[in-house]
Amino acid sequence: MNLLHQAVWLPIALFGWVVLLPSLWLAWRSVRHAANGGELAQHVWLGGAVCVALLWLLTIKVGNGPAFGMLGVGLYALVFGRARALLGLTFAVIVHTACTHGAWINIGLNGLLLALVPSVVATFCQRWIESRLPHHLFVFIFGNGMFSSFVCTAVTGTLLFLVSSAVGSSWTRVDFGQYLGPIFLLAWSEAIVSGMLFSALVIFAPEVVLTYTQDRYLPRARASPR
């Protein structure tokens, strides 16, 4: 999580902006021409982004090494889909930067790692599960809520750690294996929490989960012939 606060080399920061801005524009175009999911979904989408930004404040530091914390990006991307997740998580990066007086030049790179990467990874996992496994509600909830969330969080956390270490942190010469372990442990624990929250949303507020299609996973029972 150090990358959210430390300054980076200007060309790297500009590279983040160059990649992020076109992706945001494409996501905005996609959202404009898609169903908005209703007023409740819009409120949860915006409130969820603020909650993710606040979640990033809860970190723990391992000695003189990097700071670790739960990301929440996997669940957010799984609930709202690639385009809306990219926009919402980018907003979360902006809110977090404002709350912590972070480096504004880093928003491009932070948005790339904490918004674009998890949105793409979560969408890929969802589509892989949808194409390979039966269209069953149990598969949708546990396959996405736990497996996809774990993969998304592990990939995002690892990339965030590696990029943070590459931009000149004081712990770059320390054995990476010492710090990669906690990333996967946190990813597993976050996957369990995400799975519980994801299942609760699908069951009690399915209209909020914009990646969920009820007709596909809960087909209506056929009328019995008279």
CATH number at residue 204: 1.10.1760.20
Enclosing domain of residue 77: 2-216
Better pLDDT: 135 or 148:
148
Identify the burial level of 67 via C-beta atoms within 10 angstroms of its C-beta, where 0-12 means exposed, 13-18 middle and 19 or more buried: middle
Residue 4: its pLDDT value, please? Answer: 64
- pTM for this one? 0.89
DSSP structural state of residue 60: E
The answer to whether residue 129 is domain-embedded is: yes
What lies within 8 Å, CB to CB, of 104 at 6+ separation is 97
Residue 224: its pLDDT value, please? Answer: 47
The answer to whether residue 226 is domain-embedded is: no
Confidence of residue 5 (pLDDT cuts 50, 70, 90): low
The answer to whether residue 16 is domain-embedded is: yes
For residue 14, which amino acid is it? Answer: L
The answer to whether residue 143 is domain-embedded is: yes
Task: Count the domains in the chain.
Answer: 1
The answer to whether residue 225 is domain-embedded is: no
Instruction: Give pLDDT tens digits for 62-111.
Output: 666 677 888 999 999 999 999 999 999 999 999 999 988 888 888 999 99
The answer to whether residue 223 is domain-embedded is: no
Which pair of tokens denotes residue 125?
Answer: 């996992």
Instruction: Give pLDDT tens digits for 20-76.
Output: 999 999 999 988 877 666 788 899 999 999 999 999 988 877 666 677 888 999 999
Q: What does pLDDT average to over the chain?
A: 85
The answer to whether residue 6 is domain-embedded is: yes
Instruction: Please determine, for residue 222, whether its predicted confidence score (pLDDT) is greater than 60.
Output: no
The answer to whether residue 146 is domain-embedded is: yes
